[in-house]
Amino acid sequence: MARIKLKDIRHAYTANPASDADYALKRVDHVFEDGGAYALLGPSGCGKTTLLNIISGLLRPSEGAILFDSQDVTDLATEERNIAQVFQFPVVYDTMTVYDNLAFPLRNRGVPEDEVARRVREVIAMLGLEGQARRRARGLTSDEKQKISLGRGLVRADVNAILFDEPLTVIDPHLKWQLRTQLKELHHRFGHTMVYVTHDQTEALTFADTVVVMYEGEVVQFGTPEELFERPSHTFVGYFIGSPGMNLLPARVEGRTAHLGSQTIELPGAPGALGAKRLELGIRPEFVRLGREGMPVSIRKVEDIGRKKIVHVELEGENIAAVIDEDLEVPAEPRVSFDPAHLSLYADSWRVEMEARP
Amino acid sequence: MTKTWNNKAWFMVLPVLLLVAFNAVIPLMTVVNYSVQETFGNNLFFFEGVRWYEEVLASSRFHAALGRQFLFTFIILAIEIPLGVAVALAMPRSGPWVSVCLVFMALPLLVPWNVVGAMWNIFALPDIGLLGRSINALGIDYNFTQQPLSAWFTVVLMDVWHWTSLVVLLAYAGLRSIPDAYYQAAKIDGASRLAVFRYIQLPKMSRVLTIAVLLRFIDSFMIYTEPFVLTGGGPGNATTFLSIDLVKAALGEFNLGIAAAMSIIYFLMTLLVCWVFYTAMTNYYDGER
């Protein structure tokens, strides 16, 4: 087990990257603490898998260094890094039995056969593959094959980290929950450092203690699920986390006052010098109050999602979503106000802190 | 109520039936016809039953040709399949060199059989051929027109040169179809290069390799033109394979009955081997589902 430090990692798939746009990973400088459960979250093509493959050594970063504890492993081959990785699509060794498939990573490392048997049996029991242990892997369903791939990742006790690259994509939804819960349990039991790549926010938020949100080759936020929700540090996080995502409204700011078209909003504090950046106010739909006070809006659409309602309104030509309790009546002349404690200000998409002055 | 039996449907398969009849069944039946009769010229035929079959099956000449045929096929399979796999493994997986390699690989396959024979004949001549002179210059006495061993060496080398490419192309296609994730997983699992070959590449290539073996078996079992042009079946009968012997019997000696019986036996053997291969292959892959 190890603490993984990424030092100024950049990666380009082309030979001579000229501009930032050529980099699949623009700059990553973070530490994955020993025994942590991390999720790399982001849309397809944001660099999640690139980052994962750099950690496991399948890719060598164009620039920067990777440290496991204090050892620099940048130039070490995958085999020497003692990492387990599970891929998106099942990889099984067709001609081997299920048992031999799971034993393969251990036997390659010269683990004694009685130890192999003990570990493999444990993993087989955990994955519920008891009936298939002696079967050839070739004839299995893709669910079962992916379980074997997972199993091969989990069978080694002494790995530095276990990396998961969207491992549950091919698994059916019911089994998905079950396997994810098992992974969580394993994490609690053995305390491996686990990094889990996904584009599904529910998966990320339920699995991880710390979520790393990536967007266009950059880490835009590194924080707990709560932090991502309460204080998104980039408009992308606001938009990507939560359902519906954060409302973002173009605004002008003067001192402690934000102008939204003809409306003005008191900010909780005054931001520093903002220069000529593009400013947006961010407010989560959960913190938009709909009632008889505030700024006048017109209702566009109401969606009933069970215990809550999502109300889409128009304010000064901008669309805003508000989440309200189901039994709350929408007034005839609706107005909205924003909870000041949950207002965020973004300059060129990045969050700006607003100091509360006395 | 609805008519389930409509004889007009038979007309639909008629064109295929005609085609198959003219290009396979009728020629085969004429051979069968010859194989049960004795001919004295002037189109005089007498029914002889299975006499020609008994004679062919009992003749030491046929046994010898058959033996040479199996030996040849075995040798070239034993060389071409492993060599083809080895070359395919050594070829680049991506980049501009892939097409260059593929074109070079495909070149021998495009040369007509008799040209291959003629090329190698001249190439291997001990007095003027580059290969023949070079081998002799190394101090090895080599003359494929006089020594059976030299003749075999040349015929085998020629076939390897001509047909290994086919195995390479098939094996390469098999290798290319393996997703990168397999190699990555093998690295993670700490597999050695040998284990990657044994547990990933070979199983994934097994299907195309079976086809390669089948194709090379059939082709080499029926080989005629190349050895005919190169050695003419000689020296003596050293490289007289089944098809060469057949042509000798039919056109050289005009033993139509014997030649026809040989043809039928030859045909049935090829058919049998193909059937065995086919059954083995389908059974093997049915187990996968």
| CA nearest neighbour of A152 among A108, A208, A204 | A108
pLDDT at B288 over 80: no
Residue B1 in any domain: the answer is: no
Confidence of residue B175 (pLDDT cuts 50, 70, 90): very high
Q: How far apart are CA A39 and CA A213, in angstroms?
A: 8
Confidence of residue B256 (pLDDT cuts 50, 70, 90): confident
Look over chain B and give the mean of its residue pLDDT values, rounded to a whole number.
87
Structure tokens at A205: 């938020």
Contact A94/B at CB under 8 A: yes
Q: How far apart are CA A216 and CA B191, in angstroms?
A: 34
What SS3 string covers A9-46?
EEEECCCCCCCHHHEEEEEEEEEECCCCEEEEECCCCC
CA distances from A273 to A133, A245, A277 (A): 65, 28, 10
Q: How many distinct structural domains can be found in chain A?
A: 2
pLDDT number for residue B242: 85
Confidence of residue B2 (pLDDT cuts 50, 70, 90): low
Q: What is the mean pLDDT of residues B183-190?
A: 90
Q: What is the mean pLDDT of residues A277-288?
A: 88
Helix axes B60-90, B148-176, angle to 10 degrees: 40
Q: Which residue of A has its CA nearest to B184?
A: A58
pLDDT number for residue B286: 60
Q: Are residues A281 and A212 in the same domain?
A: no
Contacts of A109 in chain B (CB under 8 A): 190
Look over chain A and give the mean of its residue pLDDT values, rounded to a whole number.
86
Domain that holds residue B219: 7-284
Contact B190, B223 (CB under 8 A): no
Q: Are residues A216 and A320 in the same domain?
A: no
pLDDT number for residue A358: 44
Q: Are residues A103 and A24 in the same domain?
A: yes
Q: What is the mean pLDDT of residues A237-247?
A: 88
pLDDT number for residue B246: 85
**What letter represents residue A352's amino acid?**
V
pLDDT number for residue A356: 57
Query: In 3-state terms, what secondary structure has residue A97?
Result: strand
pLDDT at A273 over 80: no
Contacts of B185 in chain A (CB under 8 A): 85, 87, 91, 149, 152
Q: Are residues A162 and A308 in the same domain?
A: no
Query: In 3-state terms, what secondary structure has residue A173?
Result: helix
Residue A240 in any domain: the answer is: no
Residue A164 in any domain: the answer is: yes
Residue A357 in any domain: the answer is: no
Contact B217, B73 (CB under 8 A): yes
Q: What is the CATH number of the domain that holds A269?
A: 2.40.50.140
Contacts of B182 in chain A (CB under 8 A): 91
Q: Are residues A58 and A169 in the same domain?
A: yes
Confidence of residue B81 (pLDDT cuts 50, 70, 90): very high
pLDDT at B80 over 90: yes
Residues contacting A72, CB < 8 A, separation 6+? A65, A66
pLDDT number for residue A355: 67
pLDDT number for residue B289: 41
Q: Are residues A114 and A251 in the same domain?
A: no
Residue B143 in any domain: the answer is: yes
| CA nearest neighbour of A188 among A19, A35, A326, A338 | A35
Q: Are residues A135 and A189 in the same domain?
A: yes
Q: What is the CATH number of the domain that holds A146?
A: 3.40.50.300
Q: How far apart are CA A135 and CA A127, in angstroms?
A: 15
Nearest CA-CA distance, residue B118 and chain A, Å: 45
Contact B77, B217 (CB under 8 A): yes
What is the reported pTM?
Answer: 0.78
Could you write out the DSSP letters of every residue in A195-254?
EEEES-HHHHHHH-SEEEEEETTEEEEEE-HHHHHH--SBHHHHHHSSSS--EEEE-EEE
Residue B2 in any domain: the answer is: no
Domain that holds residue A64: 4-235
pLDDT at B160 over 90: yes
pLDDT number for residue A169: 82
Contact A79, B187 (CB under 8 A): yes
Beta bridge partners of A39: A196, A211
Single out the residue in A235, A263, A282 at which a domain terminates. Answer: A235
Q: How many distinct structural domains can be found in chain B?
A: 1
Residue B83 in any domain: the answer is: yes
How buried is A88 (Cβ within 10 angstroms: 0-12 exposed, 13-18 middle, 19+ buried)? Answer: middle
Question: With an 8 Å Cβ cutoff, are B181 and A91 in contact?
Answer: yes
Residue B126 in any domain: the answer is: yes
Residue A358 in any domain: the answer is: no
Residue B289 in any domain: the answer is: no
Residue A119 in any domain: the answer is: yes
Residue B177 in any domain: the answer is: yes
Interface predicted TM-score (ipTM): 0.79
| CA nearest neighbour of A278 among A251, A300, A298 | A251
**Taking the CB of residue A271, how many other CB atoms lie within 10 A of it?**
17
Q: How far apart are CA A275 and CA A91, in angstroms?
A: 52
Residue range A312-350, pLDDT digits in tens: 998 888 889 999 888 888 888 888 888 888 888 898 888
pLDDT number for residue A120: 92
Residue A228 or residue B44, greater confidence: A228
Residue range B85-125, pLDDT digits in tens: 999 999 998 888 999 999 999 999 999 988 999 999 999 88
Buried b (16+ CB within 10 A) or exposed e, A165-180: bbbbebbeeeebeebb
Q: Are residues A98 and A156 in the same domain?
A: yes
Q: What is the CATH number of the domain that holds B206?
A: 1.10.3720.10
Minimal Cβ distance to A78: which of B179, B187, B289: B187
Residue range A50-104, pLDDT digits in tens: 898 999 888 888 888 888 888 888 888 888 888 899 988 889 998 899 999 999 9
Query: In 3-state terms, what secondary structure has residue B59?
Result: coil
Residue A274 in any domain: the answer is: yes
